[in-house]
Amino acid sequence: MTAMNFLEKDQKLSLDKLRNVLVRLEDTIIFALIERAQFKQNEIIYVQGAFPFDNEPDFNGSFLDYFLLETERIHGNLPAPVLPALDFASHLIPNKINVNHHVKSMYLLNILPSLCAPGDDSNHGSSATRDVECLQALSKRIHYGKFIAEAKFQADPEKYTPLIKARDTTALMALLTNELVEERLLRRLRRKAEIYGQEYADESDAEEPAPVPSTGTYGAATNGTAPSRKRRRSSTSDGTKRRIDLDMVVRLYKDFVIPLTKKVEIDYLLLRA
Ligand SMILES: C=C(O[C@@H]1C=C(C(=O)O)C=C[C@H]1O)C(=O)O
């Protein structure tokens, strides 16, 4: 992906092209969540200081924090920027805007508990690497708000400039919000989560007895004689299992991803002047 992809012939940022990136990132995010959902919550990996790291005796973060730290170190040491597109716009986009602490707390408090069944399945490393992938995808999506805001500004500087000067965040929010785009997104997202989250059923699986009805969201079967299958997030109309809860994915975007993207858009505009 090169930065030039976002530019029109007149060198202005193309809102349409940027929106296409956000559409593609929906897939990345849904697949990352599905990957994480195969493991249990493994709460211990989020507890500060629960794991000692011999090479970092002073480190007192969680197991996940350690993974994040190491990942960031690798990125920081790379000779080339990891996100060339972001780097390209750094003269326009102040790097000060960083909402990753919000992204992380939203993920830990609001997503994980409805994504994974409680418990510990010992897959600590696998869970933490999936967490890092989810966080990176969410963070990238949300920080694209900088480009989106720049594109909107370039398309209509006369409207944006006075509001920025007056620091009128309410009016800015109204101006940059596009409800139609949001509604379409949420419908598309539900559909994608439905399709991508379908468990592939082999022909031989079709002859297995019908799944035992589940008791709760995660469908821990109470019937002791039932084959111990993975938890089920409500079945599809043809009885196949779902790997991810549709309402959860939609709620994630509606309550967190979109509002945080818009926060980045506003923060960016306020800093732009
Ligand atoms: C990102 C945009 O800005 C706002 C935020 C949206 C989002 O986070 O998906 C969608 C529409 C707008 O209300 C956009 O206009 O595309």
Residue 233 or residue 179, greater confidence = 179
pLDDT at residue 189 is higher than 90: yes
Q: Are 203 and 267 in contact (CB under 8 A)?
A: no
Q: How far is the CA of 200 from the centre of ligand 1 (A)?
A: 33
Cα dihedral across residues 7, 12, 18, 19: positive or negative? negative
Atom from ligand 1 closest to the CA of residue 144: 1
Per the listing, tokens 């599905």 go with 34
Mutate to test the pocket of ligand 1, among 16, 178, 267 (most ligand atoms within 8 A of CB): 178
The string of DSSP codes covering 169-189 is HHHHHHHH--HHHHHHHHHHH
Residue 249 or residue 90, greater confidence = 249
Q: What is the pLDDT of residues 194-218, one digit of tens each?
A: 999 998 877 765 555 555 554 444 4
State yes or no: ipTM above 0.85.
yes
**Does ligand 1 lie within 6 Å of residue 181's CB atom?**
yes
Any idea where the domains of the chain sit in the sequence? 15-80+98-198+244-270
At residue 53, the pLDDT reads 86
At residue 57, the pLDDT reads 85
At residue 88, the pLDDT reads 44
Whether the full predicted model's pTM is greater than 0.90, yes or no, is no
Active site residues per annotation: 19, 141, 152, 178, 182, 261, 265
At residue 71, the pLDDT reads 82
pLDDT at residue 164 is higher than 60: yes
Q: Are 273 and 165 in contact (CB under 8 A)?
A: yes
**Does ligand 1 lie within 6 Å of residue 18's CB atom?**
no
- Give the lowest-confidence range in 34-48, 158-172, 240-254: 240-254
Q: What is the pLDDT of residues 263-273, one digit of tens each?
A: 999 999 998 86
**Does ligand 1 lie within 6 Å of residue 260's CB atom?**
no
Q: What is the pLDDT of residues 96-150, one digit of tens each?
A: 788 888 999 999 999 999 999 999 999 999 999 999 999 999 999 999 999 999 9
At residue 223, the pLDDT reads 40
Report, at the CATH architecture level, how domain 15-80+98-198+244-270 is classified.
Orthogonal Bundle (1.10)
The string of DSSP codes covering 87-153 is HHGGGTS-TT---HHHHHHHIIIIIHHHHS-SS--S-HHHHHHHHHHHHHHHHHHHHTHHHHHHHHH
**Does ligand 1 lie within 6 Å of residue 182's CB atom?**
yes
Residue 119 or residue 224, greater confidence = 119
At residue 1, the pLDDT reads 43
